[in-house]
């Protein structure tokens, strides 16, 4: 089975998190919205877009 890869774009900052959202497309969203802690975003240099990979373990 091939892993799912989803690109998310930075949408908004809250007090302690950065909200990333999946762009709208022809299919229903896989993740939708993802909140990442600000300290973790700083470790990866606060990107405008991120890619999330989902694969079975």
Domain span at residue 35 reads 4-54
- The model's pTM is 0.88
Residue 17: predicted pLDDT: 97
pLDDT at 1 over 90: no
> How long, in residues, is the chain?
57
Percent of the chain with pLDDT over 70: 100
What gap in Å lies between CA 34 and CA 5, rounded to an integer?
14
SS (H, E, C) the chain: CCCEEEEEEEEEECCCEEEEECCCCCCCCCCCEEEEEHHHHHHCCCCCEEEEEECCC
Residue 54: predicted pLDDT: 96
| Number of domains observed in the structure of the chain | 1
Query: What average pLDDT does the structure give for the chain?
Result: 95
pLDDT tens per residue, range 25-47: 899 999 999 999 999 999 999 99
């Amino acid at each position: 089975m091939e892993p799912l890869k989803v690109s998310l774009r930075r949408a908004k900052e809250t007090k302690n998190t950065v909200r990333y959202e999946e762009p709208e497309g022809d299919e229903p969203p896989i993740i939708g919205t993802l909140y990442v802690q600000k300290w973790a975003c700083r470790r990866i240099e606060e990107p405008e877009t991120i890619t999330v990979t989902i694969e079975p373990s």
